[in-house]
Amino acid sequence: MGDVAERLYPWGATRRYHSYAAYARRTFGRPVRKIAVDGGFTCPNRDGKIAYEGCAFCDNGAFTPSYCSPGLSITAQIDAGIRFASRHIGPDTLLLAYFQPFTNTYAPLETLRARFGEALAHPRIGGLIVGTRPDCVDPRTLDYLAELSRTTHVTVEYGVESVRDATLRAVNRGHDFAAARRAICLTAQRGIRTGAHFILGLPGEDDDMLIGQTAIINELPVHAVKFHQLQLLRGTPLSRRYDADPEAFGLRSPDRYVVLTVEILRRLRSDIVVERLAANAPEPYRHAGSWGLRGCGSLVAAVEKKLAERRVFQGEIFIPLQRLKT
């Protein structure tokens, strides 16, 4: 049968975790590239509906490509994004318009139809990824996205960040975990591919908590997850809290983060696609105490090396939450 490193895992690939690349090959049969788009939306905890200062960790500029600008049309941004990534785009590459900055369902349905419709009208775009908050979707919006998903690829990504309400309050999310669970369930029930985003290392959450929350993630009807380390960004409320009390944060080194990630992957359902394992804010955005990477590939490689050294893989010790409670 050969060495265990060459085995095919349940997701049909030899990598030890269920990567987005494996999902794309299996689903589309060709390379996939996401083209970020700024739809000109805002957030309810920035415009005063919930709060004004936003989430304590957030600065959208840290992860928004330079070609994204709400001053440009959706079409112009897509054209600019294609030029920006031209070295990585072949004639058969499937391009997905990724509505990334801020909350991309926080607008009337007519506005969403116009902006998403413009993206899908672009001749190179073959689907949508919509990043949003769990408290900013309603049945009419989800029904519209479900309608789109019947003829094109649609993913809705929710910023969940943590399963603990105390943590969500501490970082000024403005919603609880029940809101995230409800939104994810309503989305998945409509047959829409559903993703969830988690930050590993928010204040007050130790390694045991983060490993333990994997059982709760496994109970959600999500198709994909994104994980990344806490990055302190300059000028954010969280960076100011760090300056006042750095010991309260317990920031993890890259090596410790790799070990933590491996333990989470071992417990994560094997059918869940892992779209991200780390984030890399540009250096000018990073506050003291944060670490970045020369591209996230180096950390992904370190995780894969650790998985291979330990001869472990995603989902090998998956235990349903009901069994943990008995």
Query: Strands across the sheet with 273-276, in order?
Result: 32-37, 94-99, 125-132, 153-161, 193-200, 224-229, 273-276
State the pLDDT at residue 2. 44
State the pLDDT at residue 323. 56
State the pLDDT at residue 31. 93
Instruction: Report the C-alpha gap between 7 and 273 in whole angstroms.
Output: 18
State the pLDDT at residue 295. 53
**Per residue in 73-124, pLDDT tens?**
999 999 999 999 999 999 999 999 999 999 999 999 999 999 999 999 999 9
Q: Which two tokens stand for residue 242?
A: 């760090």
State the pLDDT at residue 1. 38
State the pLDDT at residue 298. 86
Instruction: Report the C-alpha gap between 48 and 322 in whole angstroms.
Output: 40
Instruction: Report the C-alpha gap between 241 and 170 in whole angstroms.
Output: 11
User: Rounded to whole angstroms, what are the CA distances from 134 to 105, 130, 202?
Assistant: 10, 12, 19
Q: Which two tokens stand for residue 290?
A: 């944060």
Query: Where residue 160 sits, what CATH number does that domain have?
Result: 3.20.20
State the pLDDT at residue 176. 97
State the pLDDT at residue 324. 54
CA 44 from centroid of its chain's CA atoms: 20
The ranges of the chain with pLDDT < 70 are 1-5, 289, 291-297, 321-326
Domain of residue 266 covers 4-325
State the pLDDT at residue 4. 47
Other C-beta atoms closer than 10 Å to the C-beta of 74 total 24
Q: How many domains does one find in the chain?
A: 1
